[in-house]
Amino acid sequence: MTARESTIQQLNIAAQAAHDKGAEDLVALDVSEPLPFVDVFFIATGRNERNVMAVAGEIEDQLNAAGHKTLRREGRSEGRWILIDFGDLVVHVFHEEERLYYSLERLWKDCPVLPLAVPAAAAAE
């Protein structure tokens, strides 16, 4: 199984929104093989709690404006790790310390990394 084209379109919206708000280390993982109910994990890092909240808010606003409904959101009040579930796309916006601690890329290292069409993606590779 591979990520659907509709999910890739959502991913591109999310990546651009994250980039526009200054997120760093943007990574997209195709988790459709081990997780049949999700296609892509999108991971981004904010420099501080305010930036984490701003990045997550912009991603959610842009995806909602494009017609993609938020199914669930967690962690917004703390601003350390915000998870936003859009169904086939799950967005993780981390504070730097939490990103290092939880290291989702290491946990899901067997999953293919998807290319992102934003300049900040080059820093993650």
| Structural domains of the chain, with CATH | 5-114 (3.30.460.10)
Give the span between the Cα atoms of 125 and 123, in whole angstroms: 6
Alpha-carbon dihedral sign for residues 65, 61, 8, 121: positive
Residue 47's SS3 state is coil
pLDDT of residue 123: 44
pLDDT band at residue 125, thresholds of 50, 70 and 90?
very low
* 36 pLDDT tier (thresholds 50, 70, 90): confident
Task: State the pLDDT confidence band at 117, using cuts at 50, 70 and 90.
Answer: confident
- For residue 21, what pLDDT is reported? 97
Cα separation, 9 vs 58, whole angstroms: 16
What is the pTM for the complete model shown? 0.91
